[in-house]
Structure 1
Amino acid sequence: MSRKGATHWVIPDGYIPVDSSGKLISHESICVVNLHEQDAHIDITIYFEDQEPIEKISVTVKGKRTRHIRTSSLEKGSKKIPAGVPYALEIESDIPIIVQYSRLDTTQAELALMSTMAYPVDN
């Protein structure tokens, strides 16, 4: 398999605002593209400043597809990311993928959209 992407990614700055204004809801997304024929099996771990991580939330991205995963939808059992709490993400995949991170902040009328590539960890 050619190496298009990486198998280990980190996003150190996450934060889901408590409030939104207007019609749009503030949110954050992990944007994943799988450039390979086979499905990518991904484990996502969420880290916090003052509580234990939520480990290994499993997600599949089908071959030759993209998937946008809202971080507010990530949960394991009854555990999920609370709004208003800083967090970080670790994404591990069984095949190379490409990961981008996006944030829509609508806490004020002058909303902001930010997007950046996640940090690929050398394996």
Structure 2
Amino acid sequence: MTALGKTTWVFSGGNIPRTSTGVEPEFTSRDELCLLNTGGRRAELEMIVYFEDADPSLPFRVVVEPRRVFHVRINDLIDPHAIPLGVPYGLVVTSDEPIVAQLTRVDTRQSALATTVMPGYSVGD
């Protein structure tokens, strides 16, 4: 199968809820990046996070193996630094292979859970 997707994805609506209800990690409020690599080669990604009132982050790096899906919680990105909770952010994902990406928010601040799926803006081959 030909690799599907694009090499750059942009998400402008990030904001990890500060609080959660229920047991961790299943009911932790979070933003989660969902990445799909349909191609035959591993995809090496860099993610840069942009903020309203601070400089962009250094790149976070993740790998998505060939013909696999990989989910990464933005809450779990801690190297080179943790992403602050409750702070609006934007995210640019670049990959050396075409991928498909979406951002999902799970909000458990109340007992009535909410999930939001945010498609990204794709750029590149």
TM-score, normalised by the number of residues in structure 1: 0.92
Deviation at 1:108, TM superposition (A): 1.1
**Contact preservation (8 Å) 1:45, 1:89:** yes
Match of 1:15 in 2: 15
Question: What SS is found at the alignment partner of 1:72?
Answer: helix
**Contact preservation (8 Å) 2:14, 2:91:** yes
TM-score, normalised by the number of residues in structure 2: 0.90
Distance 1:45 1:68 in 2: 17
Alignment of 1:1-123 (within 5 A): 2=2, 4-23=4-23, 24-77=27-80, 79-122=81-124
Q: Greater CA deviation, 88-97 or 52-61?
A: 52-61
**Contact preservation (8 Å) 1:54, 1:76:** no
Question: What SS is found at the alignment partner of 2:75?
Answer: helix
In the TM superposition, structure 1's runs of 4+ consecutive aligned residues that sit over 2 Å from their partners are none
Distance 1:34 1:19 in 2: 32
Question: What runs of 5+ residues in structure 2 fail to find an aligned partner?
Answer: none
Deviation at 1:21, TM superposition (A): 1.9
Question: What runs of 5+ residues in structure 1 fail to find an aligned partner?
Answer: none
Paired AA for residue 92 in structure 1:
T
Would you say how many aligned residue pairs link Structure 1 and Structure 2? 122
Paired AA for residue 53 in structure 2:
D
Identity of aligned residues (%): 37
